[in-house]
Structure 1
Amino acid sequence: MSASSVAVALVSAGLLAAPVALPTASPASPTTAAIVPCPHVTPPTIPPTPASPPRDAAAPVVGGAGLATTGLAAPAAVKAPPATSAQSWVVADLDTGAILGACDPHLRRRPASVQKLLLADTALPKLNPSQVVVATAADLKLPRVTSAVGMVVGGHYPVSTLWYGLLLESGNDAANALARVAGGSGGVPATIAAMNAEAHRLGADDTHAVTPSGLDAADQFTSAYDLALIARADFARPDFVRYDTALRFQWPAQPPRDPHGFQIQNENKLLTEYPGALGGKTGFTDQARHTYVGAAQRGGRRLVVTVMGAEIVPARAEKQGEALLNWGFGLPATASVGHLVTADEAARLHNPPSASGSHRPARVRVAPAGAGAFLDTRTPQVILGVVLLVLAVAGMSLMWRLRRGR
């Protein structure tokens, strides 16, 4: 009997479920429509950045088939979006989850400091804001040129203070301290693992975190689509909004090294320059270039914009984000080219139901990480192997019994 015959027989007997389609993700069409280029401003010079991992064309497109493009995704018969220098961007509705427009939404790039939004989404529920953290030398072990709020070794900082340092000043020292404490006995590595688990839960499958702060690291990526998912989770939390929208904060004194303390200001200019601004996060590294996440409300709508791989032409990344927000607010409320999946939809995507209502078994990795090869436990070849193994064991048992009978 062939492997396919075994599979057919098991399906007929109800022992193997036939695959079903998912409403939350769509496979890329084999006859993909022509790619529409994104309106783009080309900078005079573009520094080299790490290559983006290619997307698996056979994998489902999270958020809908309309997002299966490396170019522009925009509703039909609407005004073209403004030109930017960004490599990718997304404009989405925070409340409905509708994606109003996008440019190469699933392109994977370095996140820079917008990675801190994933840290916040992961660690805010775990930490008591009044818990006092004692800064260590490891918290302050950072590259020579980096963003730091100015913690001192041995300083005592409430968790709430560290959140202000993280979101206003983009302090990488605060990121290290928060990740260390949130990880418990597992420290920073445990928080990194939790960040990746949270991204998976949200459906942010383009995301892989390696550092809590967003400092460049090999194999660390996210996408404009994933950042919109993460931002949506953050902006649903009142504590995040409270920290993120503060314009300034008095950093506490740490005598004798710092007897007076100092004031820090919010780096997100959207808050003071854009009517209806709700907050967000800026980011920059050499490998990521400029990244930005910003949200605003107007006319009863709350939109978020995510920008990746921008240069400071035609303007700063947050100004490019403002232009995209203006474009989004000018679209009809019904405009959509895809949607932000919910955590429930992501769960069905990761563990799709079978025709019988049960869940399909998870696939088993049989290759080293990064090799991209998987063995699916539902394949006919594996089923045939299991059947043959059972028959062989039964035959050996029968022979043993006959010999013992003699």
Structure 2
Amino acid sequence: MKAFAAVALCALVAWTGLPSTAVLAKEKASEKLVDQVKSAVLMEKDTGTVLYSQNADDRLPPASMTKIMTLLLIFKALDAQDISLKDKVRISEHAASMGGSQVFLEPGETMTVRDLIKAIAIASANDASVAMAEYIAGSEQAFVKKMNEEAKRLGLKNTHFKNPTGLSADGHYSSARDMALMARALLRYPEVLKFTSIYEDYLRENTDNKFWLVNTNKMIKTYPGVDGLKTGFTQEAKYCLTATAMKNGMRVIAVVMGAPTTKVRNEQVAKMLDHAFNAYKTKKLMDSGRVVRLVPVNKSEEGKVPAVTRDPVVLLLKRGEAASHLKTSVHLTKGLKAPLKAGSVVGHVSVKKGNELVSQTPLIVTKDIKPASWWQLFKRNIGKMTSGSW
């Protein structure tokens, strides 16, 4: 970190005209890695770099991998403190009527948010997904609207939702690339892994209606480092999986869609994970949550607010490649004005290796930035006048 700081101090030059994504994800050319599937993507999580792809943008039914977006909205609501894990959710007739994979919720039954998340993450429960959708948005339809709004916010080009479950529906589709991007967004809430990594658990434990949950993702037992995320199957979609694994500090996401069997699906995901961990490594340059600069926000209470790294600043390297000739620059957005919502992007940290841009990480504000009162603005202006900086 000392060496990096020295480089950073001599290279803090503003870069403009760069996209506001977390990084510039580059497609890596490689020989065909997987087969017997309709599409596949392998992505390094911190940089967003695509390490391998096959028909990555084909629009296909995602089946229960849809629940990655459902979980993303749940964890966003938890993070915003709109809901809590201890909240009790009353199950509606509609939620209880869901077919497919379910935990047999009863109309009028109450269950905590924590237990409903377990039912979704472990058992892929459709009834629990709809119950949470209704609890967060008021209705399943309103929640689906939120899902599509979030897909647009994430820049997903080949995704549209009709329900929060993944049950087959006309116009309900996604792509392997979009699923990886959804998974990457969900992994910004690492608490989700506490649920997706559970192999078996119970609902209604210590009652006469005890229900055994077994994880639909068997790879959490068969592949070291796998701790999520979500399987999927319908007759139309065939066997699908968005998996994530970590090894030696590097986390990757592997997506397979349209495999003929669970065995083939898991074998192809394992091939991609092996490729990632054998061929690549990462070097962390900054932790997430690090204050990089103070950024001016016009008419705000503070005047200047901390610009914080949203994600770790990470360099992706091939095995044997040295992390040398790095130049780091900080770009802050000009003309910011209160109010700003927590999570608003206010700049970027960019890393170049030689002349190549290899990493670009958003800087955000971590709390709502409120407008200053007229009295605060008056005192601030008086201070400028008396200090001679008017």
Fold equivalence (TM over 0.5) = yes
- Find the aligned partners of 1:270 and 1:174 in 2 and give their Cα distance: 23
Distance in 1 (CA, whole Å) between partners of 2:104 and 2:266 is 25
Does 2:278 correspond to 1:330? Answer: yes
Q: Which amino acid aligns with 2:113?
A: V
Counterpart in the other structure of 2:116: 162
Equivalent position SS for 2:41:
strand
Quick one: distance in 2 between partners of 1:310 and 1:177? Answer: 30
* Correspondence for 1:317: 265
Unaligned runs of 5+ in 1: 1-20, 26-61, 68-73, 335-341, 345-356, 358-406
What is the aligned partner in structure 2 of residue 31 from structure 1?
none
* Counterpart residue number, 2:254: 305
1:247 aligned to which of 196, 199, 210: 199
Tell me what 2:49 maps to.
Answer: 98
User: Residue 131 of structure 2 corresponds to which residue in structure 1?
Assistant: 177
Residue 95 of structure 2, aligned match among 139, 149, 156: 139
Q: How does 1:375-386 map to 2 (within 5 A)?
A: none
Trace 1:104-253 onto structure 2 (pairs within 5 A): 104-126=55-77, 127-143=83-99, 146-184=100-138, 187-252=139-204
- What code does the residue aligned with 2:110 have? H
Is the 1:156–1:254 contact (alpha carbons within 8 Å) kept by the matching residues of 2? no
User: C-alpha displacement at 1:90, in angstroms?
Assistant: 0.5
What is the SS of the residue equivalent to 1:330? helix
CA shift at 1:253, angstroms?
A: 5.8
Which structure has the higher relative contact order (CA within 8 Å, separation 6+)?
Answer: 1
Distance 1:208 1:84, change over 3 A: same
Distance 1:243 1:169 in 2: 11
Equivalences for residues 24-35 of structure 1 within 5 A: 24=19
Identity of aligned residues (%): 29
The structure 2 residue matched to 1:266, chosen from 178, 190, 215, is 215
RMSD: 2.8
TM value normalised by structure 2? 0.63
Could you tell me which amino acid in structure 2 is paired with residue 109 of structure 1? L
Structure in which a larger fraction of residues adopt strand: 2
Write out aligned runs for 1:351-370 (5 A): none
For residues 91-144 of structure 1, the C-alpha deviation after alignment (integer angstroms, 9 at most, x for no partner) is 01011111101001111111100000001111222232111111122102234x
Q: Residues 207 and 162 of structure 1: is their aligned pair in 2 closer, same or farther, counting only changes over 3 Å? A: same
Whether the aligned pair in 1 keeps the contact of 2:116 and 2:128 (CA below 8 Å) is yes
> What's the TM-score once normalised by structure 1's chain length?
0.60
Task: Provide the aligned length of Structure 1 versus Structure 2.
Answer: 266
Give 1:331 shift.
2.1
1:218 Cα shift? 0.5
Rg comparison, structure with higher value = 1
Gap runs ≥5 in structure 2: 1-15, 78-82, 283-308, 312-334, 336-390
Deviation at 1:303?
A: 0.8
Per the alignment, in what secondary structure is the counterpart of residue 125 of structure 1?
helix
